[in-house]
């Protein structure tokens, strides 16, 4: 007597899809919980201190200090007779291993024509500065946060991880002078 083998029960395809969807749902829950915990850790580790015209933000990945200061000095010559147009400022980012980057800016205004201001800076700045100005730039350019249009003049020096910028922007009533220093902090 021959016996026929019992057919193996066939798994339904809906059972496989249930497993796949269950695994996907578990993955989403695990990723969501991880994102929630990471966000909670970061939010709890951020400390913000505000005093007067400055703010300091401390995190696990470093600290950031920003302050307005009328005496902010980027270390660049100030055109004679120009007036402070708006308070200068400094931004400092420090990593946990005490490496830091500073950006210091000051903004002045003069009623003198741009040709006169340009000639004065051409004499005052070292040969490390590259001049870009009318006829050189085809369109406006962003140089470390300073927008320089094609009819403006910019002097840029990049040396030893420090960028220095003098931007002269022609206005209807004179010239705005933006002075900027970005890079490693100056030695005391």
- Which pLDDT belongs to residue 33? 82
Tokens representing residue 23 in the block: 């695994």
- Which pLDDT belongs to residue 12? 55
Tokens representing residue 111 in the block: 């009623």
- Which pLDDT belongs to residue 6? 57
Q: What is the pLDDT along the chain (188 residues), one digit of tens a residue?
A: 555 655 555 555 556 777 777 777 787 888 888 887 777 776 667 777 788 777 887 777 778 788 888 778 888 999 999 998 887 888 888 877 778 888 888 889 999 998 899 999 999 998 889 888 765 444 445 554 455 555 688 888 888 888 888 988 888 888 999 888 888 876 65
- Which pLDDT belongs to residue 139? 45
- Which pLDDT belongs to residue 120? 95
Domains of the chain, residue spans: 63-183
Residue 69's beta-bridge partner residues?
88
- Measured CA to CA, the distance from residue 36 to residue 29 in angstroms comes to 10
63 contacts: CB under 8 Å, gap ≥ 6: 56, 57, 93, 94
pTM score of the predicted model: 0.65
């Amino acid at each position: 007597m021959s016996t026929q083998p019992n057919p193996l029960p066939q798994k339904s395809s809906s059972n496989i899809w249930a497993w796949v969807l269950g695994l996907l749902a578990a993955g989403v829950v695990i990723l969501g919980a991880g994102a929630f915990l990471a966000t909670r850790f970061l939010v709890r580790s951020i400390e913000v201190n505000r005093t007067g015209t400055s703010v300091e933000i401390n995190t696990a990945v470093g600290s950031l200090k920003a302050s307005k200061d009328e005496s902010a000095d980027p270390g660049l010559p100030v055109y004679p007779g120009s007036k402070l147009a708006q308070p200068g400022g400094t931004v400092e980012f420090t990593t946990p291993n005490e490496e830091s980057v500073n950006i210091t800016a000051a903004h002045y205004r003069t009623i003198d024509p741009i040709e006169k201001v340009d000639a004065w800076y051409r004499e005052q700045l070292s040969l490390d500065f590259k001049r870009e100005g009318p006829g050189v730039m085809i369109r406006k350019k962003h140089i470390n946060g300073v927008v320089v249009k094609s009819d403006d003049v910019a002097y840029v020096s990049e040396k030893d991880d420090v960028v220095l910028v003098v931007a002269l922007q022609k206005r209807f009533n004179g010239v705005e002078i933006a002075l900027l220093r970005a890079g490693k902090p100056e030695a005391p």
